[in-house]
Amino acid sequence: MYFKNRLQGILEEIDDLVDTFIAKGQENPYLMPGYTHLQKAQTITFKYYLDAYAQMLLRDKKRLLNAINIMDENPLGSGALAGTTHNIDRQLTTELLNFKKPVKNFIDGVSDRDYVIETLSDFSIIGVHLSRLSEELIIYASQEFQYVTFDDSLSTGSSMMPQKKNADSAELIRGNSALLIGELNQILVIMKGLPLAYDKDMQLDKETFLPAFDHIEKMLLIAKKIVSTLKINRVKLQKAVKNGFLNATDLADYLVKKGRPFRDAHTVVGQAVLFAEKHQKALEDLTIEELKQFDQIIDEDVYHYLNIQESIHKGIKKEML
């Protein structure tokens, strides 16, 4: 009952954070670099970037709803492990306590804590998602990127260096995710060698899930405040998209549409990128003559693919808008 009640609050906080992601994305639908290996890869939108985390949290919500559904069994009447000689109405107590059904097996009803394990596992997954978001926002807020700026209320200065603005709120989310993983490991280790039915070790489960609930609630609330107050630097994002040959894959797609095998297109684009780097140009700034030296099939229509503002409207890419 305690779990069911507290998890309802967690579900509401997840919904609030998802809504915050969506709202912030709609306010800032700007183009930005997408990364693999922390290197610029292809163009995405800030809206689509935030939506990735929204989708993760929506799956997290499904996991918690599934956990609630599984644990929604009434153990009342199980006794120590063998029920009771009293002819109690288990269906009535189930309805009064707002459970879905009575437990089928008395021993199982008192001897397992898999509902704790499953909930803390779900919390750990949420924590990992929020930790990844926090790490990225810390990077994006750094002087090296400057894509975003944290609100002053969620940042601190340095005790020694007056110029510093540290994203402490995101760092604490990142740190608390480790505590959630630790609490999951604790309950797993507590339960791993216990014989049926009840053992006193089980009372230590409170030391795992009580702090875990507090940690996940704080993390979700802080994440919501971070995202809702985050300032997006559109100019920096535009500049970042211009550099790094983010349209190289679009050029390869163009060649494939012209009939080239992708392996050949990949080689041609690699040569074009090396040429552009050598001459300190972007791919879209190369002349048609310069591009044709790599493949004569290239024509003027290539610029519709090299222009990032245009190419993002092609194919299923437009789903990112």
Question: Structurally, how many domains does the chain consist of?
Answer: 2
Q: Which two tokens stand for residue 16?
A: 């609030």
Is 51 found in the same domain as 92? yes
Q: Which domain holds residue 174?
A: 2-240
Q: At what angle do helices 206-229 and 168-191 cross, to 10 degrees?
A: 160
Q: Are residues 135 and 232 in the same domain?
A: yes
Does the pLDDT of residue 159 top 70, yes or no?
no
C-alpha distance from residue 77 to each of 88, 298, 299 (Å): 8, 78, 79
∠ Cα 87 93 94 (to 5°): 120
Pair 146, 23 in one domain: yes
Options 37, 86, 153, 159, the catalytic residue: 37
Q: Based on the fold, state whether residues 292 and 225 are members of the same structural domain.
A: no
Q: Are residues 47 and 140 in the same domain?
A: yes
Which of residues 195, 211, 240 is at a domain's end?
A: 240
pLDDT at 49: 98
Output the six-digit token pair for 293.
């030296």
Which pLDDT value is given to residue 156?
A: 81
- Over residues 166-196, the pLDDT tens digits come to 899 999 999 999 999 999 999 999 999 999 9
Which one-letter amino acid corresponds to residue 166? N
Specify whether the backbone of 151 is left (phi greater than 0), alpha (psi in -120 to 50) or beta. Answer: beta
How many whole angstroms separate alpha carbon 54 and alpha carbon 126?
11
For residues 252 and 121, state if they share a domain: no
* Cα–Cα nearest to 299, from 245, 261, 253, 254: 254
The CATH number of the domain where 254 resides is what? 1.10.40.30
Domain containing 164 — which CATH number? 1.20.200.10
Please classify residue 244 by burial: count the beta carbons closer than 10 Å to its beta carbon, then call 0-12 exposed, 13-18 middle and 19+ buried: middle
313 as an active site residue: the answer is no
Q: Are residues 14 and 101 in the same domain?
A: yes
**Considering the chain, what is the average pLDDT of its residues?**
95
Same domain, 78 and 146: yes
Same-domain status, 235 and 256: no
| pLDDT tens string 227-264 | 999 999 999 999 999 999 999 999 999 999 999 999 99
Question: Considering 221, 240, 259, which residue would you say is the last residue of a domain?
Answer: 240
**Contact assessment for residue 320 and residue 246, using Cβ atoms and an 8 Å cutoff:** no
> Checking DSSP bridges between strand 39-45 and strand 31-36, what pairing results, if any?
antiparallel
**Domain stops at, among 240, 263, 283:** 240
159 is catalytic: no
Choose the catalytic residue: 111, 153, 158, 279.
158
Assess whether 273 and 177 both reside in one domain: no
